[in-house]
Structures are given as structure tokens and as C-alpha cells.
Amino acid sequence: MSAGFDYTRSSGLGRLNFDGNLTYRSKKEEIIFSSSGIYTITDSSISRDREDVSIKNNYYFNPTWFGSILLKYQRNLELGLQRRFQEGIAGGNKFITSRHVYAWTRGGLVFNQEKNTGDTLSGTLTELFGQLEFNFFRFTKPELSINVTNAFYYSLSQSGRFRNDAQLDVNWEIIKDLKLIISAYSNFDSQPPSEESRQFDMGIVFSVGYSF
């Protein structure tokens, strides 16, 4: 779990961010829950600028090949997205499992139900997707881990629409179980839910995290 907060008196604005991950692993199964959020706080209101919650259930057919069931919720006001519910199925492979590098790729089909900031519903939209993730880690002091994730989505329901979600996380252990975290994210949508919204959003987040 990690969290960060900044505030400037001159603007009267505060920014709160959080991130949490919980993983269960057995010989054949892996369940991963992750969540993150960015909020703007003023004297009179709280704006939920960006939220991301997901659950992944991976079942391993052998040490490298696996099947996945995916559930996800997203919110991004910069892209005109009030909420997106996503369900999907996929297959993947761990193609690197070395001492300091862990990497996998996954591809499949997802179904989205979107609502834009103008309260317009999209119905169910179908996308093909591919995802690639690299993890670099060092367990000698100071412990350091770097995670890079990139996911591409191509719409089968809307001609010419494609999306990209990318994230970089750097975790540096300051003292035992306490980490300094730097995260950078980017989101692109060639046809955002609201026509007047931007197609691209990005940000850098600093926080302090605790692992247990």
C-alpha cells in the first residue's frame, strides 16, 4: 500500500493519491487485486480525477502458460470517462523468469460498458487487447524494483478506435518494509467517450508505501 498528498495554500488545492496491491498465489492459481486513485481536494469539494480497480485470476496450465479472467473499473475525467466496467478473458505466457527479471505477455478479448462525463451510456463495446509487463528487481540493500506495463486495445465495435494504457513504477526500500515510490502513467484514446475531451493523459506520482 502507498499514499501521497500535496497542498499549496496559495491555490487552495490539495492532491491525494493512493495505490494498493494484494496477491494470492498457489501452485496452479494466482489472484491479483490492485487499485489506485488520484483526487483533487478544495475547501468545498473532492474531485475523483482518476480511479483504477482490477481483479485478475490466472490459472497455470504449466509453469509458463496461463489463462486469465479479468474484471476492471476505470475512471478518467481528463479523457471524459465517468466510468468504464470491463470484463475479459485471455491467455498468456511467462517468457522470462531469471534471477533479476520477470516478464510476461497476455492477449485476449474484453467487453466494456462506458459512461461519459455527459452521462451518455455506450452499451457493450468489444476490444481485442495485448499486454506486456517487465519486472526488474534487486534484493540486496537497498532493495529496488522497477515495473513496466503496457496494454493496447483495438476496438471491434467502433471503427478506428484504439487505446493504450502504460505505467512505470519504481520502488526503493528506504528502511525495512517502507518504500519510496515514483510512478508515471499515460492513457491514450483515439476516440474518447466525450468528443470535447483530450485524447491523452499522463502524470507522475510520488508516494510512500508499506509492504506486509
pLDDT digit string (tens) for the chain, length 212 residues: 899 888 777 667 898 999 999 999 998 999 999 999 999 998 888 999 999 999 999 999 999 999 999 999 999 999 999 999 999 999 999 999 988 999 999 999 999 999 999 999 999 999 999 999 999 998 887 889 999 999 999 999 999 999 999 999 999 988 888 889 999 999 999 999 988 889 999 999 888 888 87
Cβ of 78: how many Cβ atoms within 10 Å? 16
In a domain, 82, yes or no: yes
Number of domains in the chain: 1
CATH number at residue 153: 2.40.160.40
CB atoms under 10 Å from CB of 77, counted, come to 18
Give the residue numbers spanning the domain of 174: 60-210
Q: Residue 124 falls within a domain, yes or no?
A: yes
Alpha-carbon distances of 206 from 3, 82, 181, rounded to whole Å:
8, 25, 6
Answer yes or no: is 41 within a domain.
Answer: no
Query: Does residue 115 fall inside a structural domain?
Result: yes
Instruction: Report yes or no on 35 lying in a domain.
Output: no
Other Cβ atoms less than 10 A from the Cβ of 179: the count is 21
